Amino acid sequence: MHTPTGTRSGLAAMWVYRADRSIVGGNAGRRETFPWRMKPDAAVRPLFPPRDHALVKALACERVAETGEPISRQSLDDLTSRVRRALGNVMSPSTVWRILDEDAIKPWQYKYWIFPRDPQFLEKAGPILDLYAGNWGGKPLKNGDFILSADEKTSIQARIRIHPSLGPGPGRAARIEFEYERGGALQYLATWDVRRGYVLGRCEPTSGIEPFGRLVDQVLAQEPYRSAKRLFWIVDNGSSHRGEAACNRLRKVDRRIILVHTPVHASWLNQVEIYFSIIQRKVLTPNDFPNLDAVRMRLALYEDLSNQHPKPFAWKFTRDKLADLLQRIAARERLLAGYFTTQTQDAA
């Protein structure tokens, strides 16, 4: 049976909260304000029909348009007050939040992404994705082939806090002083073995051709790379290993090296960036180091820890998925171009 909007009868009566006191010794006090044994959907939907849901979403989007800020910057209580005025009934903040949270399209949420802007993106990214799938030039890789993803994580600072940090306690997080002095910075160069999940890294005072060359020498000096048949090095277009000049330079160092460049603005294709994101979270945050030697030690210890049980990343993005993505992006670009052309013509 439908309950008219604005009434408190029927199912609404089931949202009566317990307010009596517990009689259990040490647990005395008000009981938690949970509704009587009901699933949340059972109460929300009959009380507030689809029209009310649509109005809540419209008011949320309207607020975004008025302020230019995402809903995450808005007050839930303020939005609830406007919903109540519009509906003429009582809707709790938790219900407003639930309606917005369950919506398929959430304009108040966003995430950054990297738009593929290289005109030859598929031609350059395809061989890398083929390598991740175990192929090169249309043929499967052999046992003596290794895929190495390499890059630099630059400007890692040693932030010396002006007051010693306080360790965590019962019910209390660790406390890190906000202000700090700069204790210098270093560069962390690393190579990630895509198929083995093994990492080799080093710290350098600066980045550049020579420091990257020392990383290459470090890798070539160790097995199984010293005895490998082919070494595929995946790198971005940084100055340390850019273009055909870098290919020729590394080929002179070792003819087994095949340098494979990612497209411009596509560092996400380089798997070592995943490892860098892990050490950023687990090793370098919070940045509380007395000096650069402490940074070096922390990076080396985590590298050793990772290599005790090496595990490759479960890479699932393939050449076919990339082709499909680029087709969808191109279709959307054409649609937007047609829309703006029509708008310009109508305005004229």
Between CA 82 and CA 86 the distance in angstroms is 6
Instruction: Look at residue 50 and tell me if it is in a domain.
Output: yes
Indicate the Cα dihedral angle 29, 32, 37, 40, nearest 10°: 170
Q: Residue 232: what pLDDT?
A: 98
Regarding whether 146 and 238 lie in a shared domain, the answer is yes
Q: What percent of the chain has pLDDT over 70?
A: 85
Question: Do both 57 and 159 map to the same domain?
Answer: no
Separation between Cα atoms, residue 203 and residue 186, nearest integer Å? 7
4: in domain: no
What backbone phi and psi angles, to 5 degrees, belong to 258? -120, 110
**Arithmetic mean of pLDDT over the chain:** 85
22 in a structural domain? no
Helix (H, G, I), strand (E, B) or coil at 216: helix
Is residue 250 domain-shared with residue 334, that is, in the same domain?
no
Which residues in 162-206 belong to E strands, given as ranges?
A: 180-193, 198-204
Q: What pLDDT does residue 103 have?
A: 76
The CATH number for 132's domain is 3.30.420.10
- Burial code (b: 16+ CB inside 10 Å, e: under 16) for 199-213 equals bbbbbbeebeeebbe
Give residue 336's domain range. Answer: 321-348
Has residue 63 got a pLDDT over 90?
no
Distance separating alpha carbons of residues 336 and 115, to the nearest angstrom: 16
Q: What is the pLDDT of residue 107?
A: 65
- Token pair, residue 46, equals 């009959």
Count of domains forming the chain: 3
Instruction: Looking at the structure, tell me whether residues 79 and 142 fall in a common domain.
Output: no
Nearest to 132 by CA among 325, 269, 331: 269
Has residue 233 got a pLDDT over 70?
yes
Same domain, 224 and 148: yes
Is 35 domain-assigned?
no
- Give Dmax (Cα) for the chain: 83
Same domain for 67 and 152? no
Helix ranges restricted to H, the chain:
40-47, 50-67, 76-87, 93-102, 121-132, 209-220, 243-253, 272-282, 292-308, 319-347
Query: 3: how many CB neighbours lie within 10 A of its CB?
Result: 16
Q: Do both 198 and 53 map to the same domain? A: no
Same-domain pairing of 96 and 227:
no
Same domain? For 212 and 296 the reply is: yes
Residues 105 and 127 in one domain: no
Name the nearest CA neighbour of 310 among 218, 162, 193. 193
In a domain, 171, yes or no: no
Highest mean pLDDT among 104-113, 163-172, 226-235: 226-235
pLDDT at site 3: 42
Higher pLDDT, 153 or 52: 153
Q: Is residue 299 part of a domain?
A: yes
More confident residue, 292 or 1: 292
- From 323, 313, 154, 147, select the one nearest 235 (Cα to Cα): 147
**Whether the predicted pLDDT of 263 surpasses 90:** yes
In whole angstroms, give the CA distance from residue 119 to residue 319. 16
Residue type, 140: P
**320 to 139, 229, 314, 316: CA distances (angstroms):** 17, 28, 17, 11
In a shared domain, residues 200 and 290: yes
Quickly list DSSP for 57-109: HHHHHHHHHHHSS-GGGS-HHHHHHHHHHHHTS---HHHHHHHHHH-S--TT-
Residue 159, token pair as written in the block: 């932030």
Residues 216 and 96 in one domain: no
Q: What integer pLDDT is reported at residue 34 of this predicted model?
A: 40
Residue 348's pLDDT band (cuts 50, 70, 90): low
pLDDT digits (tens, 9 = 90+) for 14-54: 333 333 433 334 444 444 444 444 455 444 444 788 888 88
**Residue 3 covered by a domain:** no
In a domain, residue 158? The reply is yes
Chain segment 179-216, per-residue pLDDT in tens = 999 999 999 999 999 999 999 999 999 999 999 999 99
Q: What is the pTM of this model?
A: 0.72
Domain boundary among 67, 82, 111: 111
